[in-house]
Amino acid sequence: MDMNLPVRQFGGTEFVLNTDKMLFFEKQAPENKIFIADIEDTGNGYSFDYCKVEKYIANPFMDSGHVVRVELPPLVIMDAAGMARKYGLTIQEIKGKSDFEVMVDQEAFRKRLAGQLPTIDICGNTFRIHADEGRLSLKGASDKHDICFRGINFAQYFSQRADCWIIPFNPVTRTFQGLDFRNMIAYPKDLKAAMIPSLEKLDPFGYWVDRRLGPMTFLKVHNVKMHSTANEISWKQTSLEGLIKRNIARIKKEHRQNVHGKEKTPLHSKPKVRHGRSL
């Protein structure tokens, strides 16, 4: 453990502040962590209810006799050296500034306040990000090129493992092109696999603040940025390989069943004639 990291006491227990990871960890039990994102941001510091027994953030069901209120100054006060190092500034440069001013890109923040939309580059094409509408629009093109994230069919393109959308993008038509997952037996040949972060990461201002879903301080966790680039990956790096193998196996099985069914029923078999009793 870095002996230069600042230490704070919560209810008599020493916790070490790791500014790089934005958390406190218990000095005697480092696996016990309290993330700064999980405590209340007062705008001029941080505060939370702490349980002395659980040594963690208290919840409403805990015995109030074991709960104390913890009040903390801003990070620029608690760990000026760590904040300067993390954000590439000198201690003199962060002097007199708030955490928000240091942690949030102020130029990008001012542009978003003025209404300028951020953009993302997808396979060499620039799209505007409309987080409030859940869509991307291609610059200088009609809305037929829009990529809409809302809708039940689009949900299947979100990768929980990668924590992003992995969309099939046609670089010729410059549009999203859906896949036929049910009948796919080979990787798409003419489509690119583009990784697009979730909207709250692409444009946290538009997703949280502008839509009034969260406080302005949320931007300290997900910084404002005006431009992103979608990474391109090989289809082999996606989960399509397993899907393709299952589809091929299913199609072969269905084919065998169809062939066997035809063998059991001769095409030119004569129907049996039943003779009734004569009168």
Domain boundary assignment for the chain: 7-85, 106-237
42, 34, 37: which is closest to 14 by C-alpha? 34
Confidence (pLDDT) at 276: 43
pLDDT in tens, 80-134: 999 999 999 999 999 999 999 999 999 999 999 999 999 999 999 999 999 888 8
Segments of the chain scoring below 70 in pLDDT: 1-3, 152, 210-215, 261-279
Confidence (pLDDT) at 17: 97
Token look-up 């390989």 returns 241
37, 215, 36: which is closest to 207 by C-alpha? 215
How much is the pTM?
0.75
Q: 169, 134 in Cβ contact below 8 A?
A: no
